[in-house]
Structure 1
Amino acid sequence: MKVWLYRSRRVPLRALALAVAVCATLTACGGTAARAGKPVVLTTFTVLADIARNVAGEHLAVESITKVGAEIHGYEPTPGDIRTAAKADLILDNGLNLEAWFAQFVDDVRVEHVVVSDGITPIPIGEDAYQGKPNPHAWMSPLNVQTYVDNMVRAFEKLDPAHAADFRANATAYKAELQRVHTDLTTTLSVLPPNERALVTCEGAFSYLARDAGLTEKYIWAVNAEQQATPQQIASTIEFVRADRVPAVFCESTVSDAPMQRVVEATGTRFGGTLYVDSLSEADGPVPTYLDLLRHDATTISTALTGRKP
């Protein structure tokens, strides 16, 4: 599925505008959260929603357009999404070209809109059709998400000034947890020799995490796409793993790991496990919160690369 080029079926803007008008006449469109009297914050995917809930605490109702397990890149919005957007008081999106699908109707609703990645220096994607475009996965860095949190605090203070002190206190505590994940990961990986400090994945979704953890990144494809990995992409990855004697490789939860298993078969390296990027899991799953996602990925990566159990 593509980030910048889409073949999805677009919902006509006229139809979306009609949906907004219909929604305004139906009390059901208000939703449980709105009836509770709290300002409604809408995010584009579940990771942002969980981060926002930690900052908002009990004062705001935070909802996500996409559901758990969804592949965020190629999401196809529905008329129901415009109804959800119309009732929100604030919309948060990641930016960096991640949610191009959302742009088709976000400008047609009179709702405050904040890009939470503002202030982050993007890492460009350096190959194929995406060359020079920003890698959108900035949330995979615990350090970057501290900037996300600061942007949310400013937006929430404007939305609900009476609870500004609570938003700031929540943010301080949450940023400390983010810093702890970063510190634990970098400390664990510091024992690796230079050639083994490599993060090999299916998608290039870990550029920011790899940079912050001092890892060399290698991936089969740059962005999740509809076509399978090419022989050239797999061959390049095999060559990298062999040359650097990379001890383990990984793949993401929303795509097939079959191409990476071919790398494993060709090189004799280990498959280190499944990593989570674009979505949280259900409450009883492995990554029900963003901090769980970070800790899961950090533990999976460090255990596989060092051979040491946490």
Structure 2
Amino acid sequence: MTPTRLLISRPAGLRRRAALGLALGSALPPVLAQPDAAATPAATPPLRVVASFSILADLVAQVAGPVAEVSALVGPDADAHVYQPTPADVRRLAQADLVVVNGLHFEGWLQRLVRSAGYRGPVLVVSQDIQPRQQGGHADPHAWQSLGHARRYVARIAQTLQGLRPGQAASLQARAQAYDQQLAALDQRLRADFAALPPERRRLITGHDAFGYLAEAYGLTLLAPRGVNTEQDASAADVARIIRQIRSERVPAVFLENVSDPRLVRRLAEEGGARLGGQLYSDALSGPGGPAATYLQLYQHNARTLLEALR
């Protein structure tokens, strides 16, 4: 798969525009070797796509390839739940050709940002056709933690990009199909891996309830002191309840998250007598040199970390 430009940090300069050069044979008269610039067809510039957070930006980039320049408002290792947009975000959104968001109330700040930027272009909500799991009376927005839902995200992204660039629909479809095959193969392998865990080893604790879709897909039981939003503080009663469950149910491992304060999870492990199983990536990719720099790497890392701790 041809690599694409994924701009996670905020761009500081003007975007590059490629020009299509025209080369004629040396046997032609000199007057024809340098045609008028106005008559030279210009290459189609890449779409400027702004995704709300890093995981979504990578999914778009995998499908778009050279068709788009993709940037993320909320970058690696950053928490979209509590993000505060900047003036640079307003400028970037105002120049976008397409905005891609998760939906399910994940980006509560986005509507204000769109209004501030005066953006009037298309907004793709990738979770639109997904039936979300419910947690505490609210829809769980972390649908990308299911590989099956991620495949639906990819299909919607491909359909939208094809509508914006119909001349490149075939290459976009090919990239989407190739990526979908990778996601499907990983899902099939993980179902077998997690099915091999004994029932008593299928319980885990995370800092907030971000892995419910993964747990449902692979037959795990997830406990979390916080709900689906990291803005919610865990109460003393919730913490005490989780500690009692760790002890009574002999939960084998507690996991840190890259976007959450580790102190609460460390306390749960210490007082509950469970081991720290490692760090999971919930709502953001790692930096380019980290273990979860793409969505596929994120999912592989999380699955490997869970399996190694729970076996």
Taking structure 2 as the reference length, what is the TM-score of the superposition? Answer: 0.83
8 A Cα contact 1:199 1:210, kept in partner: no
Q: 1:109-161 deviations in whole A, cap 9, x for unaligned?
A: 111111011111111121xxxxx221111111111100000110110011100
Question: Is 1:270 aligned with 2:255?
Answer: no
Quote the offset at 1:48 in angstroms: 0.7
Q: Extract unaligned runs of 5+ from structure 1.
A: 1-27, 127-131
Whole-Å separation in 2 of the counterparts to 1:180 and 1:200: 27
- Residue type of the alignment partner of 1:109: Y
Whole-Å separation in 2 of the counterparts to 1:225 and 1:207: 14
Whole-Å separation in 2 of the counterparts to 1:183 and 1:239: 35
Quote the offset at 1:226 in angstroms: 4.9
Question: Is 1:194 aligned with 2:199?
Answer: yes
8 A Cα contact 2:82 2:231, kept in partner: no
Pick from 206, 209, 233 the counterpart of residue 214 of structure 2. Answer: 209
8 A Cα contact 2:81 2:231, kept in partner: no
Pick from 134, 143, 158 the counterpart of residue 124 of structure 1. Answer: 134
Q: 1:252-292 deviations in whole A, cap 9, x for unaligned?
A: 11112222222222232211011011111221122111111
Q: 1:9-51 deviations in whole A, cap 9, x for unaligned?
A: xxxxxxxxxxxxxxxxxxx998315678211111011111111
User: Once superposed, what is the RMSD of the aligned Cα atoms?
Assistant: 1.9
SS at match of 1:65: strand
Structure 1 residues 34 and 239, CA, compared in 2 at 3 Å: closer, same or farther?
farther
Q: What is aligned with 2:98?
A: 90
8 A Cα contact 2:99 2:124, kept in partner: yes
Q: What is aligned with 1:150?
A: 155
Question: Is 1:72 aligned with 2:55?
Answer: no
Q: 1:70-109 deviations in whole A, cap 9, x for unaligned?
A: 1111111122212101111111000000111011132531
Pick from 285, 294, 299 the counterpart of residue 304 of structure 2. Answer: 299
SS at match of 1:91: strand
Percent identity of equivalent pairs: 38
Whole-Å separation in 2 of the counterparts to 1:166 and 1:282: 28
Taking structure 1 as the reference length, what is the TM-score of the superposition? Answer: 0.83
Whole-Å separation in 1 of the counterparts to 2:16 and 2:264: 43
Structure 1 residues 227 and 42, CA, compared in 2 at 3 Å: closer, same or farther?
closer
Quote the offset at 1:228 in angstroms: 4.9
Q: Extract unaligned runs of 5+ from structure 2.
A: 1-10, 20-44
SS at match of 1:260: helix
Whole-Å separation in 1 of the counterparts to 2:233 and 2:52: 26
Pick from 81, 95, 109 the counterpart of residue 89 of structure 2. Answer: 81
